[in-house]
Structure formats: C-alpha cells, structure tokens
Amino acid sequence: MKVQDFAASIGAGGCLFFCYLFCSGAYTTDADALKKAAEAIENGTIEKDCTVSHPERIFYENAGRRVRILRKKISSLDEIKEKTPVNFVNGNFNHWVVVENGKIVFNSLEKSVCVAKGKPTEARIIEYV
C-alpha cells in the first residue's frame, strides 16, 4: 500500500484499532501507533481498510496478553466501568472511543461529530484470559 493510501485508510477507519491498542496499554505516541497500524496491516491483524480482523492478536502482539472480545449492545456510557471501546453512531457514520467509568478516556480524533451528536450503541467488552 502506498503511503497516502495508508494515511487515508488509517484516518478513515483506524479508530477501533487505536482503541484496542490504547486498552492493551501499548499506545505510547501517535507516531508509534501509526507504525503499529502499518505492522498490523502487514501481518493481517487488520485489513487494508483498517477493519479489525483479529482483535485478540492486537493485545497479544503488542502487550503479550490473551483476551476474548465480546460484543454488547449498550444505550448509555454509565454501563461501562472498565476500559472499553464504545461505538458512537450518528446517522450513517460511526466512531469508536474508549470509555472507562462512564467517561471517554481516549478518542483518536480531536473532534468527532459522531461523539458530539451521536449515541453510544455498542461496546467491545475485553475479557482477560
């Protein structure tokens, strides 16, 4: 993949990958996170469009931890206590952030219309095994 294609892809669809990276404890700097995204594409952990194919591998490859990821429908951030990726939906658009104790603790965008005007609809519960 050419560098501008990579940049466009990660900018448009990398939010869930970055949330998992943050939850794993392996997110240090933005530059390092971009490098890890490129590596994840190369090794098949995420697709070229940044769809997360193997979320468990993100934790194992970056933090040496084994996890199981469970999908859960939600309607409120108050339901979330542990660091958890949460999907906000605004019409046909969505964006993932990390929520802990009912508050957003990580957002890969400075400003997100989905977060500002949308609603939380789904969470990815992380179970450490």
| Model pLDDT, residue 71 | 97
CA-based nearest residue to 118, from 10, 2, 15, 7? 15
Instruction: Write down the pTM of the prediction.
Output: 0.95
How many structural domains is the chain composed of?
Answer: 1
Q: For 51-87, how does the pLDDT look when each residue is reduced to its tens digit (9 = 90+)?
A: 999 999 999 999 999 999 999 999 999 999 999 999 9
100 has pLDDT over 90:
yes
Q: For 2-52, how does the pLDDT look when each residue is reduced to its tens digit (9 = 90+)?
A: 889 888 988 889 999 999 999 999 999 999 999 999 999 999 999 999 999
Burial of 28 (0-12, 13-18, 19+ CB in 10 A): exposed
Q: What are phi and psi of 3, to 5 degrees?
A: -60, -40
Give the domain range for residue 14.
3-128
| Model pLDDT, residue 5 | 87
Q: At which residue do the structure tokens 């952990």 appear?
A: 45
